[in-house]
Structure 1
Amino acid sequence: MQDTATYTCAYCGEPNVTFPDWSGGRRQQYIEDCTVCCQPNVLYVTLEPDGETVCVFAEAG
């Protein structure tokens, strides 16, 4: 099971690491601040049933 996923900040373009919650359902949405510019990113996370694939899309919050 993949414990982390990487997304690109919607504001500054820097890569960030997030920790999806596998018990939170296959599709998740939450807000996480960029570790570089501190701007809020709305993350849309899809966890695939194989337990290995995590897709993350970020947009400006």
Structure 2
Amino acid sequence: MQTDDVLSWVCQYCGEENSLWVDLTIMEDQDFIEDCEICCRPNRVLITHDKENEEYIFVDARLTDE
């Protein structure tokens, strides 16, 4: 069983793609702040977990004030 993965998200400030290590043993949605690897601005990253299929299906980045 795979316990971790690297997912991609796009910075909402500069538009650059970033990678993010995700712990797959957390079987619920995740919501946290991650700094962009390029411009260093904070993004709110939301990872949606599909409880029915037990996999992560969606990564979304938003401005921190959203």
Report the TM-score when normalising by structure 2: 0.76
Unpaired runs of at least 5, structure 1 = none
Offset at residue 22 of structure 1 (A): 1.6
Higher RCO (CA-CA < 8 Å; seq separation 6+) = 1
Q: Output the aligned Cα RMSD.
A: 1.9
Return 5+ residue gaps in structure 2 as ranges.
Answer: none
Amino acid at match of 1:47: H
Report % sequence identity: 34
Could you say which structure has the higher strand fraction? 2
Which is higher, the Rg of structure 1 or of structure 2?
Answer: 2
- CA separation of 1:23 and 1:5: change in aligned 2, threshold 3 A: same
- The count of residues paired between Structure 1 and Structure 2 equals 61
Q: Which runs of 4+ in 1 moved over 4 A?
A: 49-53
Q: Secondary structure in 2 aligned to 1:23? A: coil
